[in-house]
């Protein structure tokens, strides 16, 4: 398995996309490599979007659970 076959973390994927973009901006990517680099960037961007989507759903689930556990206004424990 190569390093590119391993699923990168969000930070690793983002750093790799930024590196590809920097190489594109500096015209450092040979035309023979261009297609592969663009395809890799698309895969990485999709991965980042999916990780963000899953994280957003987890946060929504977590906050919904917090709201369920919180007593409604005026329903607190009696003193």
pLDDT digits (tens, 9 = 90+) for 26-76: 998 888 899 999 999 999 999 999 999 999 999 999 999 988 877 666 665
pLDDT at 74: 60
- The answer to whether 44 and 19 are in contact (CB under 8 A) is no
- The answer to whether 24 and 37 are in contact (CB under 8 A) is yes
Domain locations in the chain?
Answer: 10-69
pLDDT band for position 79 (50/70/90)?
very low
pLDDT at 64: 92
pLDDT at 69: 79
SS3 of residue 33 by DSSP: helix
pLDDT at 2: 53
């Amino acid at each position: 398995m190569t390093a590119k076959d391993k699923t990168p973390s969000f930070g690793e994927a983002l750093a790799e996309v930024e590196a590809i973009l920097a190489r594109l901006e500096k015209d450092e990517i040979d035309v023979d490599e261009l297609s592969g680099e663009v395809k890799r960037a698309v895969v990485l961007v999709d991965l980042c979007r999916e990780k963000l989507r899953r994280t957003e759903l987890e946060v929504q689930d977590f906050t919904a659970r917090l709201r369920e556990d919180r007593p409604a206004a005026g329903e607190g424990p009696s003193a």
